Structure 1
Amino acid sequence: MSAVMAQPQQSDIEVIAQAPGQADVLTPAALTFLAGLHTRFETARQARLKARRERQAFFDGGGLPDFREDTQAIRAGDWKVAPLPKALLDRRVEITGPVDPKMVINALNSGAKVYMADFEDSTAPTWPNLIAGQRALIAAVRGTLEFTSDAGKHYALRPFAEQAVLMVRPRGWHLDEKHVLVDGAPMSASLFDLGLFAFHNARELAALDRGPYFYLPKLQSMEEAQLWNEVLDHIERELRLPQGQLKVTVLIETLPAVFEMDEILHALRTRIAGLNCGRWDYVFSYIKTFRAHRDKVLPERAQVTMTQPFLKAYSELLIQTCHKRGAHAMGGMAAQIPINGDDDANEAALAKVRADKLREVTAGHDGTWVAHPALIPLAQQIFDERMPTPNQRHVLREDVWVTREDLIKPSLGTITRTGFEGNVEVCVRYLAAWLDGNGCVPIHWLMEDAATAEIARTQLWQWLHSDGLFLDDGTPVDFALLERAFLNLPARLGDRSGIPGGSRINEAIGVLDRLTHADELEDFLTLPAYARLD
């Protein structure tokens, strides 16, 4: 089952963009290191992407995901992952966000146990953003990162002992980094993000007993996990680090992956710290996997909550699987942000967060995610009260019994006009901001990122391409309804000057219009949109 690797050879690497400070990051030695990653692993990456396409074709033909027969021995085996490092034993509250200097400082100073610096869903991968993010993290690891806003406010890191533990999420296997060419071909965005960070920071973090630690996104199979394991083995050899020094947590945020959680843990067993319920991408993946299945159409996003049976089954199976193997089972994101000036609305939002975090800790999760620092005290309090130990891996959830049908049965609900038009607005506003270089956008007091925009986008496509769907008021769900939503959008938005990416709203409408009319569902919104960046 080992991934196929190309034989190492001398490769030409070329950077075809410029950004402030990039010479400090893309040194000759760093570029040689990146070229080596591409040469060794690009063939294997393309093989894994081909396998994804073949698997999706099976689903489009009416096939259903299931637990694998050829790996039954792994699921039945009595094995555990390697012991966890001290810095990752208590992860009860983690904060995530983009990698700009101000965010990095605020997140590390936030009081959360972990900060996931995100090159993926909450960062628009413009070349300046990527270089600035790598520079910020290099300085943060060395304790020298500072930032002064245009208004003159100064930001600096607290002492190391008071900082959150740093984890880094690279972009997914499906994405290229078009600004870096190896032998004329774009290199993997995953290998660029993770490789460049490791090259500059792995030894420093190892000396601090802080990893380095990574979150790995959007895996769909154990073979993809094996590929990551081979990449990390290679990096450790090249940087002369002990085997297993680089630790990872894998996001279970695709429907195929939920059927291979044991296998993913096993493939990464010398270095994996846990699995995470990436709930928004998971809902997106459910829609995409079943895009051709008329009986699997989901209701509007607001009704697809973690209390729905198929999501409850996913969460509880993840907890049971992780704890059986000695790994952490991390909960999902609270996307709410404070509602200033409306105490009643703010309290209602906090009540939703409180209920969600109480559900997670009661179910057995070892920690949770928040998108805004103001939610950290609330999440911390709930986990402190219900989880006095650093984690609850001792909660084995032997009462859980989950079948394939439990994981694929859709939730019941409706599509309202508000829900339909809300999907259009979120997708257009997020895409406009993303095209303008902002990958994390507050919309109606929720922090939207690429994952939530993808739910909106794929739901619109599926609804519009499923005959016979109606809103709850009897209105047909068709392209005339979409056109009216586009026409009504300017009135919903009002003054665009205060909206992130407001000048690119019309461009975003055009992109969404083309994507929703297309006969085939585009795999990821960011693939066609990436061509428009820079």
Structure 2
Amino acid sequence: MAVPQERLAPPPMLDGPLGPARAAIATPEALAFVAGLHRRFDGERHRLLAARRARQARYDAGALPDFRADTREIRESEWTVAPIPAALRDRRVEITGPVERKMVINALNSGAKVFMADFEDASTPTLANLLDGHVNLRDAVAGTLEYTSPEGRHYRVHPDPAVLVVRPRGWHLPEKHFAVDGEPVAGALFDFGLFAFHNARALHARDRGPYFYLPKLEAMEEAALWDAVMEHAERALGLPVGCMKATVLIETLPAAFQMDEILHALRRRAVGLNCGRWDYIFSYLKTLRGHRDRLLPERGQVQMTVPFLKAYSELLIQTCHRRGAFAMGGMAAQIPIKGDEAANAAALEKVRADKLREVRAGHDGTWVAHPALVPVARAVFDEYMPEPNQRDVLREDVRVTREQLLAPCAGTITRAGFDNNVEVALRYTAAWLDGLGCVPIHHLMEDAATAEIARAQLWQWLHHADQPAGGTPAGGELHFPDHAPIDFALFDRTLAAHAHRLSGSDLPGAARAGQAAALLSELTHADQLGDFLTLPAYARL
């Protein structure tokens, strides 16, 4: 069936020597499809982003997030999501990663049930990265994905690969390489539209989707916008309404108060919710940036066992299972530690303990960032979840209050924790500016979420240091355990030292160390905590 098209001249930034593979993705027909999504839905997107800013202004003025009074009936009434497709009924281990060709092959071959191909936090949105990613996913859907390394090693996708799920960018991110009517399209619509245009019908014909992970939502209205976008795409592509399925990442603090509402807005296509815990911690910091009594200790101490994260996880399980949806656990970011068996064994034991906590709590599956962790996580879920899922675990014992979701956790800010935040934020930002969105740092696979935590904590610690004490993680005053002050002079020295080391190394992003340091200095010294690191960084690509 032909796809209805709108007339659209090739945008200047996509015109020119793209090469045949990229040009086969950025066709006039595909770009017209994306333009149609933009013209129909971008106004509503901007309205919802303005609503985000208005909510944040209220939080900055002293208000706190809460469950909505106007949606009480949704939370208290009985309803369920639509039946879940057979391909997604067993999701015990999911692997995530960027859309780079070899990594896509390795993820599909990893033994995980699902591969989430990430155009968002694990990818730098250069035009080349985006279009090459779509080439790779198109080839994966067609069954033709292969790769030969410069050393001559050949990679291809094995039979029975992981089920492909795609994460487009969040509603807040623009796509500066493609303008329609003089305005940049949303990165979300660009990613979604190109993937759906080229692959949706083939995936539907095989009962394999198309399936999506939806990031950074803050409200049910933002979920409803995705539902409308998908329905429009389904009708335009001649597909049954509701065949596109979505799993929503609960990775913002406002969304934790609207889990029922988000599932309800997407109820004909919702498959589940996911504990996007790293972004959730960042959102806690950002949402409560003006509240000195809500500061958190260094990120290494903010584990899923602390009360506010435990409450969030258990509420997600209870909500999903009540509504017939899956409750997915969070990311294990560890990667193998080569050459140190003891350290590697200790890292794997941390993964096992984390996955054991998740499966015992009632989660239906979990995330890993490296193929070597798939068998580790799967062994835990196979032992404790012999059925494909555990939606029958209703967790009726859970009673989560507003106060529990907002309560900060105790802890300290050590010199090592401060230094690590500076190093991770700098090294990740430099690598991101150099085109790499997924970066191994200290045996962890870091993406934008952990860099966001690091730089948000630095901003809060430094900007609240000279304000009256109010129950901070450092015992009422912002200082190190040895009582040395946390101040901008220390930050500036630490940042300069790490930038110097990075620039003289062979680590990813070494060539962009100076630019990354300047950006982090600007963001950290700013009077207001910036909403997203990737927005000003995108302007520097």
Match of 2:471 in 1: none
State whether structure 2 residue 536 is matched by structure 1 residue 528: yes
Of 507, 511, 524, 1:503 maps to 511
Contact 1:274 1:328 in 2 (8 A): yes
Report 1:318-333 matches (<5 A).
Answer: 318-333=316-331
Match of 2:408 in 1: 410
Match of 1:77 in 2: 77
State whether structure 2 residue 235 is matched by structure 1 residue 237: yes
* Aligned length in residues: 523
Contact 1:117 1:168 in 2 (8 A): yes
State the AA in 2 paired with 1:43. Answer: G
Of 421, 424, 427, 1:423 maps to 421
Of 350, 354, 357, 2:355 maps to 357
Of 307, 312, 315, 2:313 maps to 315
How many angstroms does 1:22 deviate by?
2.3
- Deviation track 1:89-111 (CA, whole Å, cap 9, x = no partner) reads 00000000000110111111111
Match of 1:123 in 2: 123
Match of 1:23 in 2: 23
Give the Cα–Cα distance (whole angstroms) in 1 for the partners of residues 117 and 465 of structure 2: 42
State the AA in 1 paired with 2:316. Answer: L
Contact 1:114 1:166 in 2 (8 A): yes
Contact 2:413 2:481 in 1 (8 A): yes
Match of 1:247 in 2: 245
- Shift in CA distance, 16/492, structure 1 to aligned 2, threshold 3 Å: closer
How many angstroms does 1:486 deviate by?
1.9
Give the Cα–Cα distance (whole angstroms) in 2 for the partners of residues 487 and 239 of structure 1: 53
Of 389, 394, 400, 1:391 maps to 389
State the AA in 2 paired with 1:96. Answer: T
Match of 1:4 in 2: none
Give TM-score scaled by structure 1 length: 0.96
Give the Cα–Cα distance (whole angstroms) in 1 for the partners of residues 431 and 152 of structure 2: 25
Match of 1:272 in 2: 270
How many angstroms does 1:488 deviate by?
2.9
Match of 2:473 in 1: none
- Deviation track 1:226-249 (CA, whole Å, cap 9, x = no partner) reads 000000010000001001100000
Q: Provide the secondary structure at the position in 1 that maps to 2:445.
A: strand
Give the Cα–Cα distance (whole angstroms) in 2 for the partners of residues 398 and 348 of structure 1: 35
Give the Cα–Cα distance (whole angstroms) in 2 for the partners of residues 144 and 341 of structure 1: 36
Contact 1:299 1:412 in 2 (8 A): yes
Report 1:23-102 matches (<5 A).
Answer: 23-102=23-102
Give the Cα–Cα distance (whole angstroms) in 2 for the partners of residues 349 and 203 of structure 1: 42
- Deviation track 1:102-141 (CA, whole Å, cap 9, x = no partner) reads 0111111111000000000000111100000000000110
How many angstroms does 1:396 deviate by?
0.1
- Shift in CA distance, 295/198, structure 1 to aligned 2, threshold 3 Å: same
- Deviation track 1:145-186 (CA, whole Å, cap 9, x = no partner) reads 111111111111112xx2000000000000000000101110
Match of 2:469 in 1: none
- Deviation track 1:273-325 (CA, whole Å, cap 9, x = no partner) reads 00000000000000000000000010000000000000000000000000000
Contact 2:503 2:511 in 1 (8 A): no
State the AA in 1 paired with 2:480. Answer: L
Report 1:163-182 matches (<5 A).
Answer: 163-182=161-180
Give the Cα–Cα distance (whole angstroms) in 2 for the partners of residues 26 and 527 of structure 1: 24
Give the Cα–Cα distance (whole angstroms) in 1 for the partners of residues 493 and 186 of structure 2: 40
Cα RMSD for the two superposed structures: 1.3
Match of 1:199 in 2: 197
How many angstroms does 1:42 deviate by?
0.6
How many angstroms does 1:28 deviate by?
1.7
Contact 2:499 2:513 in 1 (8 A): no
Give the Cα–Cα distance (whole angstroms) in 1 for the partners of residues 193 and 302 of structure 2: 36
Give the Cα–Cα distance (whole angstroms) in 2 for the partners of residues 492 and 348 of structure 1: 28
Q: Provide the secondary structure at the position in 1 that maps to 2:11.
A: strand
Structure 2, gaps ≥5 residues long: 467-477
Match of 2:475 in 1: none
Q: Report the identity percentage.
A: 66
State the AA in 2 paired with 1:380. Answer: R
Of 184, 187, 194, 1:186 maps to 184
Which of 130-139 and 474-483 deviates more? 474-483
Give the Cα–Cα distance (whole angstroms) in 2 for the partners of residues 92 and 407 of structure 1: 26
How many angstroms does 1:483 deviate by?
1.5
- Shift in CA distance, 494/201, structure 1 to aligned 2, threshold 3 Å: closer
Match of 1:143 in 2: 143
Which of 465-474 and 119-128 deviates more? 465-474
State whether structure 2 residue 486 is matched by structure 1 residue 477: yes
State whether structure 2 residue 220 is matched by structure 1 residue 212: no
Give the Cα–Cα distance (whole angstroms) in 1 for the partners of residues 6 and 207 of structure 2: 34
State the AA in 2 paired with 1:426. Answer: V
Give the Cα–Cα distance (whole angstroms) in 2 for the partners of residues 10 and 146 of structure 1: 35
How many angstroms does 1:11 deviate by?
6.0
Give the Cα–Cα distance (whole angstroms) in 2 for the partners of residues 77 and 9 of structure 1: 42
Structure 1, gaps ≥5 residues long: 1-7
Q: Provide the secondary structure at the position in 1 that maps to 2:328.
A: strand
How many angstroms does 1:487 deviate by?
3.4
Contact 1:11 1:36 in 2 (8 A): no
Contact 2:332 2:351 in 1 (8 A): yes
Give the Cα–Cα distance (whole angstroms) in 2 for the partners of residues 491 and 348 of structure 1: 31
How many angstroms does 1:143 deviate by?
0.3
How many angstroms does 1:9 deviate by?
8.2
Contact 2:6 2:33 in 1 (8 A): no
Contact 2:503 2:513 in 1 (8 A): no
Which of 49-58 and 10-19 deviates more? 10-19
Which of 343-352 and 393-402 deviates more? 343-352
Give the Cα–Cα distance (whole angstroms) in 2 for the partners of residues 57 and 472 of structure 1: 34
Match of 1:3 in 2: none
Match of 1:341 in 2: 339
- Deviation track 1:17-43 (CA, whole Å, cap 9, x = no partner) reads 454332101112111111100000010
Contact 1:13 1:182 in 2 (8 A): no
